[in-house]
Structure 1
Amino acid sequence: MLWHAIAPVRRYTKASHDVVRHPRLCSDAKILLLYVQGLPDDQTHLALSEHGRKLGIKGRAFQRAKEQLVLNGFVHERKAPAERGLWVTHQLSSNVPLSDADALVVWREAGVGEESSPSVHFPTVGEPGPRTVGHQLPVDEELGKNSSHPPTEEPGVEPVVELMPPQEAEAERVLLSLRHSHRQLHLGVAEARSLVGQAAEWLRRGVSGGELRRVLSSGLPSDGVRSAVGFLGHRLVQKMPEAPAPEPALAPVPAPVPVSVSVPERGAPAVAEGGEVEALPPVLPVSAATRYVVPLVTCQGPGSEHVFRPLGEETECPDCQQAAAWARWAERRAADLGIDLAEDAAAAVEAGRDPDGWRSRLAAAAAAASEGSAGL
C-alpha cells in the first residue's frame, strides 16, 4: 500500500493514534470526538447531540457513538442545579480517557456545578415599599367581615346535563382512547364530538367498540397524520360497513278465541229423578285452558278389582301386563323342556306373584329334566 500525505498548514486538528486506532470505538464515535476537539470557543456551549446532528449522526447511531465514548472515558456528564430551581447537564469531552476522579478535578477547576451565594442573586420579590394604612372602608363593608359573596343563582334552576345515548357515548370513548394507540390520533373533546355521529353509525350496524378502534388506528400513512380530525372523518366515511338487511316481518299471531262455558249458578236448584228438586253443590268456574285428565279405568286382569289411568286404549294395568308376559314366557319355556304345567293362565299369573309359585316349580322341573337326561 502506498502512502502519500500533505501536512496542512492551517485549520487542522491533532489526533492521537490512540483515538484513531481505538478498537472499541466505531467510526461515528471517532469522527464525533475529532470534530468536537476542533471546535472554536464560541461553539463549545452546544450539546454533543447538536454537533452530531450537524455531522448527520442522529438517532440510534448517535446513541451508540455516545455510549462508546462514555464507557471508554472520553465523554463525562454531570447534572448541577441552576437558577430558578432548574437543573442543567454539563458535558466534558477529552482526547484522552479520563476516570471519574480526573473528570471531577476538571469540573472543579472550571467552576462548574458550584452553587452561588444567595446574596449574589437579585431578589425577585422586589424592594420593600411604604405601608399603606388608614384608608376608609367602603360603605357596604364592615371591619372583620368577609365581603366576598358568591354570585346568587336563580331558585329552581338546575344545571343542564347533556345525556348521550349509549351508542354515542361508547363512540366518544373510542375516539378519545385513540390517543393511547397512536399519538398522532390525539383528539380533543370538541373534535371527538364532531365525529360521534359517524362513529355511532358504525355501532348501529353491528360493529363492536374494539373493532372500531382497530379499524381507525391501523394502517396509518407512512409519512404521518397531519390532521387527526380529517383523517378519522375520511376513514369513518370511506370504510363504513353495509347496513344490515331488514329482518322479515313475522305473521301476526291470531288472538285466542274466548270459549264460553255455561255453568249453572252457585246454589241453583236442579230437578232430580222423580221430579224432586234438589240443590246442586257449589260448582267452581271452568277455564278454557284447564288441563284434560284421563279418567280411571277398571283393570280387566285377574286378581282383586283395581283401577288404573291408561295412556292409550289398553285394558290391563302395567303390573298385570308384565305378569301375563311372564306367564307366556313360562309356557313357551315349559314346552321347550317338555314339561306339562297343569295350570290355567289365570292361575299361572296368580302363582307368578307368589315367590313359591310357577317360577320355583319351573326351575325344579328343569333341574329334574336335566338329571334324567344325565342318567340316560
Structure 2
Amino acid sequence: MLSHVIPPPRGYTKAPNGLIRHPRIGSDAKVLVLYIQGLPEEARDKALSEHARALRMTGRAYQKAKADLVTYGYVHEKRESVAGGRWRTVQVFSNEPLTDDQAARLRAGVPADGYANTSGSGVPGASPAPSAHFPTVGEPTGRMAGGQLPADEEQGEDSSHPPTEAAETEEPGGEPEAPSQEELLLAERVLLSLKRQARQLTLGVREARKLAGLAAEWLRRGVSAGDLRLALSSALPAEGVRTAFGFLAHRLVEKLPPRSEETAECTSPPPPSPLIACDGPGEEHLFRPHASWVSTCGPCHREQQRAYWADLMARAEADPAPPPPSWRERVAIEIRANEVASG
C-alpha cells in the first residue's frame, strides 16, 4: 500500500495511537472519542448520547460504540441519588483509558493519579480545549485525560450536575426513559448468576453494575429474568469467551429485542376483504366475507341452515324409518346366514 500523509497545519485533533490501533474497539467508538476531544470546551458539556446524535449515530450503532468505550475504560458511569428520590448518572469521558479509581477521583473533583490538572478550567485532568475561533489557538500542553462531566439534562437544566440515566436507555425516535431501580437490581442479580450457567461468564460486582443499565433495558422491554439469563448464556462460541465483560456487553447490545410499539408498527393488520354480493334470497345486498369461500352473509346463511333442517325433519316425519329388529330376529338372521355360508 502506498501512503501519502500530510500533517495539517491547523484545526486538527491529536489521536492516541493506542485508541486508533485498538483491535477490539469499533470505528464508531473511535470517531466518537475524537469528535468529543476536538470540540471546544464549552461544546463538550453534554451527555455522550447528544454527541453521538450530532454524528447521526443512534440506535444500536450508538449502544455498540458506548459499550466499547465503557468496556475499555474510555467512559465511566456511576448512578447516584439526588434530591426528591430521583437518580442520575455521572459520566466521565477520557481520550485515554482510566481505571475505576481514577474515574472516581475525577468525579470527586481531584486529579486522577498520573494526570495533572493543567487546564485551569475547574475540570480535573482536562487539557485546554480548542477555542471556537479559527484558527484554533492555545499553547501545547502535556497528556490530556478527559474528565468531562456533562451538564444536567433533566428538565432542560444547565448546572454542574451530571446528566440523568436517560443517556443509558435512550432509543432512536423516542423519548429517553431510565430503567427503575428495581430493574437495575434485578438485572445485576441476573448478570451475577450467569456464572452458574457457564463458569466463563463469571463477572465481578463492579462489572455487573456497569452492565446493569444495558441488561435492565431488556427487562424494560418485557423480557423476563429467566429469558434474559438464557439469551446471555446460550449458544456460546466454540472457542470460548475471552472476557466475560466484553462478550456480555456486545451480546446485550447486538441482541437487544425491539420495543413492543416497534413490533406493533411492523405487524400492521391486513387490509379488509372487499364487499361482494350475497347469494342468499331477498333483495340484492353486499357483505364482507370472512373467508374466500363464503358466498352468503351471516343472516342468510343462518336462514338457509334453518330451512335445511326443517325440511329434513319434515321428511323424517312423513316417511318414518322402520323400527330396528328385535334381538330374536337378529339371532335368527345370524343363524340363517351361517347355514347359507356352511351349506
**Structure 2 length-normalised TM:** 0.38
> Whose RCO is larger (CA < 8 A, sep 6+)?
2
**Structure 1 length-normalised TM:** 0.35
Larger Rg: 1
Higher helix share: 2
